[in-house]
A = this chain, B = another copy of it.
């Protein structure tokens, strides 16, 4: 039997990262590839205690159908935290709980884009988001970045060239995969251009709480006086990725359609964990927990960056993230990415090739993404050594 798959999905492949993740069952492989948060970032004792309490006091509510918008008390927590800590949320905004930041991005695109409409994105960018937009039939237009984030001159060119652009997708803080943080002026300029061209900004901020160096920079959403920013956040990197909970704060007319779109996808997000997280946020010291995660990533990123310094003679270039999970490495000229990835894997190191993050899937790349999040300190040291050895092997040095 031949199956006629829908045209939007027919050519889509599973995310390279998810596939690599599946291959990581071999414990001898050093996994610089996954985007998983460090296991230490899950407050599992607190969650276990609260979980027992929810089963005792609120089991039926936690196990029964709930409303699509999200558990009301959790929505209140999110609204309050976004407002007080990040200056996010105005009278025209509304908030929805989603099944991880991933669902927020997909719903935003499904809500705003017809087939053939354009999503303008930093290039490279988060593969999960790019695939979500592709699955909605949106066309991706990539804008390059420099050290300060998305190139706004190129962004304006893209806006001019694509009158059917509906969203500007950006990860301004601790960019995945590029590890870059966009400066304040650049954020203001993107906001100005979005307003000028009547295009909404989709600001993805899953790592925003994980700053371990440099100064806080206001989110684009915090500047949103005109109701043109859809803001997407997540609990995956600060409480648990496996529970699948995130949130979107956006103008109410957009959120109300996202609710309709979510209803047909999964009715609502896991009710038990929504209640559990509400209790966690009210009863535990979330900020102290985040401070611990920041300290952990400060230490581990520091080790990775100092090890990378030691192999600079290979010609490798790399970003110096101020937060988040990722370092973006660029190979010296003359070394093919495929050869490098294969060589590293033969030495038991898994990295993500930069091609996976390209808006144009057929475009080449000379870069790869690595993480300090889940590997041990010994693995970080050995993994960076393997990067050095692999480059040397391939450059014939």
List residues of chain A with CB under 8 Å of any chain B CB. Answer: 1, 3-10, 12-15, 18, 21-22, 34-37, 39, 42, 44, 47-48, 51-52, 55-56, 59-68, 99-100, 102-103, 106, 110-115, 117, 128, 131-132, 134-135, 166, 200, 226-228, 236, 240-244, 251, 253-254, 256-257, 259-261, 263-273
A-B contact pairs, 8 of them (CB 8 A): A13-B260, A39-B60, A51-B51, A110-B135, A128-B263, A128-B264, A240-B272, A243-B270
Cα-based distance from A266 to B21 in the complex (angstroms):
16
Task: Establish whether residues A228 and B1, one from each chain, have CB atoms under 8 Å apart when the complex forms.
Answer: yes
Residues on B with C-beta less than 8 A from A241 are 63-65
Residues on B with C-beta less than 8 A from A112 are 3-6
Q: Which of A5, A61, A62, A112 has the most CB of B within 10 A?
A: A5
Known: A15-B263, A273-B272. A48 touches B52 (CB 8 A): yes
Task: Establish whether residues B267 and A100, one from each chain, have CB atoms under 8 Å apart when the complex forms.
Answer: yes
Task: Establish whether residues A42 and B59, one from each chain, have CB atoms under 8 Å apart when the complex forms.
Answer: yes
Task: Establish whether residues B3 and A264, one from each chain, have CB atoms under 8 Å apart when the complex forms.
Answer: no
Residues on B with C-beta less than 8 A from A39 are 60, 63-64
B12, B21, B272: the one within 8 Å of A67 (CB): B21
Cα-based distance from A135 to B42 in the complex (angstroms):
35
Chain B proximity of A319: nearest CB distance (Å): 23
Cα-based distance from A261 to B242 in the complex (angstroms):
18
CB nearest neighbor in B for A135: B264
Residues on B with C-beta less than 8 A from A66 are 242
CB nearest neighbor in B for A115: B115
Residues on B with C-beta less than 8 A from A65 are 21, 34-36, 236, 241-242
